[in-house]
Amino acid sequence: EADIYQTPRYLVIGTGKKITLECSQTMGHDKMYWYQQDPGMELHLIHYSYGVNSTEKGDLSSESTVSRIRTEHFPLTLESARPSHTSQYLCASSDWASTGELFFGEGSRLTVL
Amino acid sequence: AQTVTQSQPEMSVQEAETVTLSCTYDTSESDYYLFWYKQPPSRQMILVIRQEAYKQQNATENRFSVNFQKAAKSFSLKISDSQLGDAAMYFCACPNFGNEKLTFGTGTRLTIIP
């Protein structure tokens, strides 16, 4: 059973607010990822990390930022939310020496009014 | 760039019948794993089955099996004895950059008809 947690599960906020989506995993995985899932359900990689102090941009450009100060924690921040940021955000992790299999959190559904 | 194509946006199947979801991919990796993930409505994405590319034998997990054709870069998922709990979005995924990242297909929404 994968242990990766995301909070909040649902968030509705107004334009211009700063938000942080939290992601934590208890599996000791080095690699962590953020995917954005649009209404059509397609998944786009927006950020990933190989380990502590490592962050990389994904395939889809995003105005969000991430940090990796601890192995288990990979938060995503939007400094000024806009309606275009409305989406589901999925966090995932993977073992460095593994098959590349991802373990996903339950997701954070963000709505910006 | 790696691409993953799922040509069936939606599929439906009668309960207890068999359904096959198709996936084609393109990768420059020489050894890799391929994955099928399931995402039930408002629930967590979970792994259904994985296939190691250098293994000729198709992977099987209970009612789920794959038909892996490496030369054709095809990786279909067969679900036998479909159950109501199988209703979900199914995503095929292919790695890039040496298994560092996964690229996902656009998904197939599977409906089970009672």
- State the total domains in chain B: 1
Contact A99 B33 (CB under 8 A): yes
How large is the average pLDDT for residues A34-42? 88
Residue range of the domain that includes B109: 3-113
How large is the average pLDDT for residues B37-58? 91
Contact B106 A42 (CB under 8 A): yes
pLDDT at A64: 94
- Tokens standing for A72? 């288990």
Task: Give Cα separations from A65 to A8, A36, A78, B5 (angstroms).
Answer: 17, 13, 7, 29
Determine the residue among B5, B55, B104 to mutate to test chain A binding: the one whose Cβ has the most chain A Cβ atoms within 10 Å.
B104
Give the residues across from A37 on adjacent strands.
A43, A88
Query: Is it the case that residue A75 has pLDDT exceeding 90?
Result: yes
Residue of A nearest to B88 (CA): A41
Residue range of the domain that includes A8: 4-112
Residue of A nearest to B101 (CA): A100
Query: Is it the case that residue A1 has pLDDT exceeding 70?
Result: no
User: CATH code at A17?
Assistant: 2.60.40.10
How large is the average pLDDT for residues B57-63? 95
Question: How much is the mean pLDDT over chain B?
Answer: 92
- State the total domains in chain A: 1
pLDDT at A16: 96
Detail the DSSP E strand segments found in B1-114: 3-5, 10-14, 19-21, 24-26, 33-39, 46-52, 60-61, 64-69, 74-79, 88-96, 101-104, 108-113
Question: Is residue B18 helix, strand or coil?
Answer: coil
pLDDT at B2: 65
